[in-house]
Amino acid sequence: MRIAVDQWRPVTGGSPEGLARLDAAAGRAAAGGADLLMVPEMALTGYNIGAEAVRAAADPENGPVTAAVGEIARRHGLAILAGFPRLVGDEVLNTVNLVDREGRLLASYAKTHLYGAVDRKQFTAGHAITAPVELGGWKLGLAICYDIEFPELARTLALAGAEAILAPTANMAPYETVATRLVPARAEENAVFLAYANFFGREGEFEYFGLSCVCGPDGNDVARAGQGEEMVFADLDREALAKTRRLATHLADRRPDLYGSLTTGGEKR
């Protein structure tokens, strides 16, 4: 499977602009032979836009934004992972949808770990981790931004069978080490591919640093963007995955009997 990770500036014109950009990106990704395109967190509307704007842009279940993403995927003949605010009852959720090349919804995930005042003012935390879903013979897990900084979430997905984790983000300075240190670590410690799609440029008080990447199951970069506008491509290699998993036996060597405090809460600092 070939993944295209598109790194772009935050949109300022809401979902019409976001969908137009997604359409253009899908065309470039398809021309580059990609089977799957992924874009940053809340790519279709912008991330740091305020609670009122987020609620106004929120797409209901099976709403027009969801339908438009599916149509773009169908027209260009590739799967797409794209994020936007979703309205469920009275809750606004920071959501990504994964659709296949026919435009069919395969999985939807709402960010479960909210970071800072912006996240908490704009969204309700998701209530569950989405089980890995199969696409093109690969089992894919979903995470969003801050989620991937929690080893428990990535490990949960790996134990559920994920072979690759897709993590769109809106990560800003001074947290570049998430992209350069934590993301490779999450890939290596779970022996999975990990794709991380970020913005670049300014949005409100945030300066996004780019550095989107796809890391292999050994933690090394398969593809890495710089800090400007860029689309990078990476091929998921099943032989490389199998070789790494023969050597890296962390999942088999775990001692769950020692980890009870992880689920009971343990002592807070």
Residue 71's pLDDT is 98
pLDDT tens-digit map of 205-259:
999 999 999 999 999 999 999 999 999 999 999 999 999 999 999 999 999 999 9
Residue 262's pLDDT is 83
Mean pLDDT of 48-68: 95
Q: What are phi and psi of 184, to 5 degrees?
A: -60, -35
266 pLDDT exceeds 90?
no
CA atoms in the 13 A half-sphere facing the CB of 114 = 18
Dihedral angle over CA of 208, 109, 167, 136, nearest 10: -140
Confidence of residue 61 (pLDDT cuts 50, 70, 90): confident
Average pLDDT, rounded, for the chain: 96
Q: Which residues are catalytic?
A: 41, 111, 145
Mean pLDDT of 168-186: 98
pLDDT tens-digit map of 116-132:
999 999 999 999 999 99
What distances in angstroms separate CA 13 from CA 20, 47, 116, 178, 249, one per listed residue? 10, 12, 24, 28, 47
Residue 194 in contact with residue 187, Cβ under 8 Å?
yes
Confidence of residue 261 (pLDDT cuts 50, 70, 90): confident
269 pLDDT exceeds 70?
no
Mean pLDDT of 137-152: 98
pTM: 0.96
Stated as kind and residue range, the H or E segment containing 73 is: helix 64-76
Tokens of 148: 């991937």
268 pLDDT exceeds 60?
no
Confidence of residue 264 (pLDDT cuts 50, 70, 90): confident
